[in-house]
Chain A
Amino acid sequence: MISESFEKRDSKIKIIFMYIILGIVALVCLYPLLDVLKVALRPASRLFSTDLNLIPEDATLENFKTALFVRPYFVWLKNSLFVSVLSSIVGVGLSITAAYAFSRYRFTGRTAGLMSFLLTQIFPAPMTLLPMYVLLKNFGLIDTYAGGIIPYIATTVPFSVWVLKGYFDTIPKSFEESAYLDGANLAQILWSIMIPLTLPAIGVTLLNSFMAAWNEFVVANIVFTSESMQTLPIGIFTMTGAMSSDWGIYSAACILTAIPVILLFISMSKVMINGLTLGGVKE
């Protein structure tokens, strides 16, 4: 049984070695968050202690209660979900059509277009803040969801286009040609051939777009000014002060922000890893 769940040619030593690497890395990834959890569980926002115990002796859920019910956590959560889901779906949607064009057509300005998509990511973000504020203000988008969603789409589209284009490139054109011969149109080809064949890449771009919006702070900070519009990162950040912060509540809120994302990671597993692999389709 067990032997079948590993690669055929992997030796026992190699398998143990791989588990050791993964285990150590997982621990390193997890540990800082455990530190945050530890602070969240401590009463009276004690930030430091010299012991390394994971669960403090006087652990309490008081901070989680405060973070959930005293501050408008659910409003922030709703805003964050709305902005992140919408911007990632729309953004990836735009990217799929653009990537298809870049992959399948040879047109004037193609190379320049691809390059300039990348160049849009290069201008340092701090300097775009003022013009972006002016722009959004002139279009009446300050303190609206669209004011966050449009900039987020703009920041993730170039990456999505490039990754998807690279992926589309690996799909033989013969697939579409036979579909065209059968009378399919472009929309059908995209929907029933290209998208299913590139699910892993679409998963990556969706997740990247979602996370970019979910964790985004700087733009959200200038756009979402009223408390009822704020997203989680902004809401949590308002809990810190320059000289004194209630780290207990802050940490509890951080954990509560990470939980929906972890759930998303778990549910994306199928698409990311077990999605239709191209190798299976190519003859």
Chain B
Amino acid sequence: MSKKLNRVLSLILAVVFGVAMVLGATGCGAKQDAKTADAPKAEAAASDNKSEVKKEEVKPVEIVFSEFDDPNVFKEDWWKEWLSGFEKANPNIRIKRIHNNDNDIRTNWQNQVAAGQGPDVTFAPHDSIGLFATAGTALELDNFFSQDFYSQLDKNALDAYKFKGKIYGIPYRLGNAVMLIYNKKLVPEAPKTMDELIAKAKELTNAPKQYGLVYDMVEPYFIMGYLGGYGGKVLDDDGKITLDTDAMKKMTQLVYDFKYTHKITPKEANSDVANNLFKEGKAAFTICGPWLFKQLDDAKIEYGLAPIPKLADGDMPRPYSGAKVMILNPGLAKNKAKAEAVKKFVEYCNGAEQQLKMAKMVSEIPTNLKALEDPYVKDDPKVKALSEQLKYAVPQPNVPEMRAIWDALKSKVALVMAGKLKPEEAPKVFQSEAEKLAKNLGKK
């Protein structure tokens, strides 16, 4: 072989080695971590049959959990403090936290679990339960925890978020229902009926400087209460999509009238616009949930809270209520040592004290019975208002078909609000669109 070839070879080898070395050096530290993380797994597999408790105590078990709370509210230090009690009590268990943006939580979990990986526990909105349970990416929990553990939790909450009669997620925080929030400077007292609200809002609208009513006009989540108030449901008892109903027509007409007939809303508003207007004192009413409270406090707006008032030709609106739930990785079924550690961790998280601490951060309601006795739940004005609204709220359905319903409503309500689709014709379009989208789920 020629000299030249030798030189070429050495050049290439140099490049490859250079790459390998740099990558090796950087990957090194993390790889070691991965090894130690794997060690307990192997350990656990080995000890499965023999159940040598002593051995498990020597090697620490690492639990990974992912959360999706607003990092500007739940800061790094808060989590550390919240977890410190557990780690002190369980020196053999190490906790690793991963933060997910709430839009990524489903995708990440699905991909990771499908690849046989993923966090051991994920905190998630309860409507992921149907998706995960159907896909087999959530562990069925009926017998995972003791009855003793379940008896400490609010039975209604536990039942409300079952999927096909089984527990797949432990609800640890309730709330997430939208309610009426009013600017006390403009409106001294909450209206009793929707007509009253509309009349007051008309009086106070002076667009674009001030609006009577602002709300997220993009996400249908904010208007679903009216559907319930008119006696409608998006799914019948057999789980069939039922959007082409009279109630749906009334709901669509109502929000159409807000904009076109009464002219009390902005022409367009997403959450940012709506929240922004209300925070600046440029809106009398808004429809929003507990997640807005902190921003309102920061903006020093004086606001009042009330249930969304009774509809003129209907009942009290029934907004969806939601829970945050803890969902477990199905891989735990094969790893007893880890499952034990996770059990301890979830039990710790759902203790009265920890649940309360968390709920207080966002003015939501704990599910631990002892925590529910706390003066915070009984006396906090925000929690009281939320409880009041929750009396009328219905749990948001968590079947996978909801995805199609949300997407259909979102894109087609937008057409109604842009004046491109008549409210009376809309329900039919909602129905056919949702049915079409539901086919994407691939059900046979």
Contacts and interface: CB of A to CB of B under 8 A. Distances in A.
**Are chains A and B touching directly in their complex (CB below 8 angstroms)?**
yes
A143 B38 CA distance: 14
Interface string B158-194: 0000000000000000000000000000000000000
B27 A243 contact: no
Contacts of B101: 237-238, 240-241
Interface string A234-245: 000111111111
Interface string B247-272: 00000000000000000000000011
A137 B112 CA distance: 9
Contacts of A240: 101
Given A48-B273, A186-B7, A187-B11, A90 B108 contact: no
B271 to A, nearest CB: 5
B34 to A, nearest CB: 5
A137 B115 contact: yes
Given A45-B295, A244-B292, A130 B115 contact: yes
Nearest to B30: A144
A221 B99 CA distance: 11
A219 interface: no
Interface in B1-28: 3-4, 7-8, 10-12, 15, 18-19, 22-23, 26-27
B443 interface: no
Interface string A109-142: 0000000000000000000011001100100111
A134 B113 CA distance: 10
Measured as residues with beta carbon below 8 angstroms from the partner, the interface class of chain A is: 35 or more
A249 B280 CA distance: 18
B98 interface: yes
Interface in B80-138: 96-99, 101-104, 108, 111-112, 114-117
Contacts of B273: 47-48
A225 B30 CA distance: 12
Given A46-B276, A50-B208, A239 B71 contact: yes
A142 B34 CA distance: 9
A88 B280 CA distance: 46
Contacts of A142: 34, 117
A86 interface: yes
B111 A133 contact: yes
Given A141-B27, A238-B101, A129 B111 contact: yes
Interface string A77-96: 00000100010001001100
B26 A187 contact: no
A185 B4 contact: yes
A102 interface: no
Interface stretch (A13-21, A25-33, A145-153): A145-153
Contacts of A246: 70, 72
A140 B34 contact: yes
A243 B271 contact: yes
Contacts of A198: none
A167 interface: no
A222 B291 contact: no
Nearest to A126: B107
Contact of A48 (B27, B75, B116, B272): B272
A70 B273 CA distance: 26
B295 A244 contact: yes
Interface in A263-282: none
Contact of A97 (B12, B30, B97, B275): B12
B72 A225 contact: no
Contacts of A140: 27, 31, 34
A227 interface: yes
A165 B11 CA distance: 19
B272 to A, nearest CB: 5
B115 A46 contact: no
Contacts of A149: 23, 26
A70 B279 CA distance: 24
Contacts of B314: none
Contacts of B299: 44
A227 B15 CA distance: 31
A226 B96 contact: yes
Nearest to A187: B11
B298 interface: yes
Given A145-B30, A222-B111, A47 B272 contact: yes
Contacts of B99: 227, 238
Nearest to A247: B272
B15 A146 contact: no
B179 to A, nearest CB: 14
Given A229-B30, A242-B102, A47 B108 contact: no
Nearest to A188: B7
Given A146-B23, A150-B23, A186-B7, A244 B117 contact: no
Contacts of B102: 241-242
Nearest to A46: B276
A221 B101 CA distance: 10
8 contacts: A47-B273, A70-B75, A144-B30, A144-B34, A146-B27, A227-B97, A238-B99, A239-B72
Q: Which 7 A-B pairs have the closest CB atoms?
A: A144-B30, A146-B27, A145-B26, A185-B7, A144-B27, A146-B23, A246-B72
Given A137-B116, A244-B292, 15 more contacts: A46-B276, A47-B272, A47-B273, A90-B19, A93-B15, A133-B111, A137-B117, A140-B31, A141-B27, A145-B27, A147-B27, A222-B111, A238-B99, A243-B271, A244-B295
